[in-house]
Structure 1
Amino acid sequence: MLTDDELAGICDLFGALTREELREARSELAFRRGREAGPEDRIEAAIESYALVEFDGLVLAGPAAFPTLPEGAGDLPHILDVPEREVDREALGEAVLDRLSTEDAAIAREVSYDVEAWAPVDASRARDGEQERL
């Protein structure tokens, strides 16, 4: 089973993937390793932990991830027909801040530092406990 950081590494390899493309990448890697891809809810769990984020129908490496390419992932661009994608980091950061505004204050504070290092946004209100609107 791939770790959150490995899922993030796969997304980072392409810039961003749809959920279906990420599922396909997981399946390809599992097949090459002779293993199972793991539970279907792995992507959702990585999104919940901020290792991945979803934005405009795409899944990207999130602020809590340390993207790592799993063994064999370097071949994925040759296997999958997926274009490289770029996403507006500021808009992405704002979307994550909106999501943080609905989180528990402790989680929001913890993730806020990661968000600031990951996207050009100011997350200080999350650290200060202002949960109304980040």
Structure 2
Amino acid sequence: MDGDHLAGVADLFGGLTRDELDDALDELAFRRDENLDADVDQAVRDYYLVGVDIDGIEMFAPGPVAFPDPPEGAEDLPHILDVERREPPREALAEAVRNRLTTDVDQADAGSERARYLVDVTYDAEAWAPVDLADVRAALTED
């Protein structure tokens, strides 16, 4: 399952805790009678999902590079799971992405493939939420 599909599952609810996301994926696999290959950690690493703390609870919402696309069979998940729709504030999502990008800058060598990817993420994030990431881009492109 790709990052857009994982973001699509989270988008059905606005945001899900890790346990809720795992439950949703388990239910989806059961309904489809197949093993779903879903790497949530990779989706977070690649900014398809963003983890944000809301009232002391970490939840995952669609991230700045995602085009949320619920996978086949996911449309019934909100009726099956006992999870109310949430609306994580855009400002909190923007801050979470800024914090992640700032941390990722320290781990990416300027000019590397990862740095180039993160530069693209900064542009996506600025279009996605109220955040200015020019300083992060500059740090990623320093030689």
TM-score, normalised on structure 2? 0.83
- Per residue, is there more helix in 1 or in 2? 2
Normalising by the residue count of structure 1, what TM-score does the alignment of the two structures yield? 0.88
Tell me which stretches of 4 or more aligned residues in structure 1 moved more than 3 Å: none
Match of 1:8 in 2: 7
Q: Report the Cα distance in structure 2 between the residues aligned to 1:97 and 1:115, rounded to whole angstroms.
A: 9
Q: Percent identity?
A: 52
**How far, CA to CA, are the matches of 1:9 and 1:115 in structure 2?**
17
State yes or no: 1:95 paired with 2:105: no
Q: Distance in 1 between matches of 2:118 and 2:3?
A: 19
Query: What is the SS of the residue equivalent to 2:139?
Result: coil
Task: Give the alignment's Cα RMSD to 1 decimal.
Answer: 1.6
* CA shift digits 1:43-88 (9 cap, x unpaired): 1111111111111110111111111011111100110000110111
Stretches of structure 1 that go unaligned for 5 or more consecutive residues are none
Match of 1:102, SS state, is helix
Q: Is the 8 A contact 1:108 1:126 kept in 2?
A: no
Please, which runs of 5 or more residues in structure 2 have no aligned partner? Answer: none
2:36 aligned with 1:19: no
> Bigger shift: 48-57 or 29-38?
29-38
